[in-house]
Amino acid sequence: MSSSRFGRPYGSVDAIVNQPGILESRPGRNPQNPNAPYGLDYLTIVDQLLVKQKVELTEVLTGFETSNKYTILNASGQKVFYAVEDSDCCTRNCCATSRPFHLRILDNSPREIIHMHRPLACSACCFPCCLQSIEVFAPPGNVIGTIEQEWSVGWPSFRILNHLGEKVYRIEGPLCTRSLWGNVDFHVVSLTGAKVGRISKQWSGLVREFFTDADFFGISFPRELDVRMKAVLLGATFLIDAMFFEH
């Protein structure tokens, strides 16, 4: 991927960023991890992130799918990052939850610090050769990890690859990803089966759940986890949202 993808964000981002409650100070280089990609330094000090999708009034009233926008918060509720989907109208409304897209993560400057790409694929159990994935890039376009769906019947599962293409973790989901009243948990486990973290689709209320596809996720991981893997788990959250909760 060329570095040109990491340019000035779209004008619509400004309306998202200029909101109260943002984290004012921009993170600097962490002396304990000077090799962390630019903009990911802040992730060295957190063990939890919250991802809140913006409710789009156009979708609620017409059912016409628009580009997704997300606010990413820390455990204190401060807005630390923003995410904006880059896709065209045709693929959003024709390919629905299987649509390809680019997703741009911005800090409060706003400056792009992470870029994600989901190619067009299917997730049907009868097509194990064309499964879902999402790649995660850091400026100036270096791959820092990939999430790939694993073929299974029933329980959703994914493998997490590092920047070298090595499998380092797995994500295991529940048999039923639909819940009328509670949270839906996807567990991050090591290759030995030990639990490392969790991606939780959180219950956001009856009206929001039934009349919109705007979701609310919590991500937890060890504070000492490599910041690149924390960014990849953020990418896994967007892939899980697109596959299971965008209906």
Q: What one-letter code names the amino acid at 233?
A: L
The pLDDT of residue 8 is: 37
The pLDDT of residue 150 is: 92
Contact present, 1 and 69 (Cβ < 8 Å): no
The low-confidence residues of the chain, meaning pLDDT below 70, are 1-35, 56-65, 123-129, 179-180, 204-214, 247
Whole-model pTM: value is 0.80
Contact present, 231 and 160 (Cβ < 8 Å): no
User: Cβ-count burial of 172 within 10 angstroms (0-12 exposed, 13-18 middle, 19+ buried)?
Assistant: middle
The pLDDT of residue 193 is: 93
Backbone angles phi, psi at 164, to 5 degrees: -95, 0
The pLDDT of residue 210 is: 45
| Tokens (6 digits) for 99 | 């649509």
The pLDDT of residue 33 is: 59
The pLDDT of residue 20 is: 41
Domains along the chain? 11-244 (2.40.160.200)
Cα–Cα distance measured from residue 201 to residue 198, given in angstroms and rounded to the nearest whole number:
10
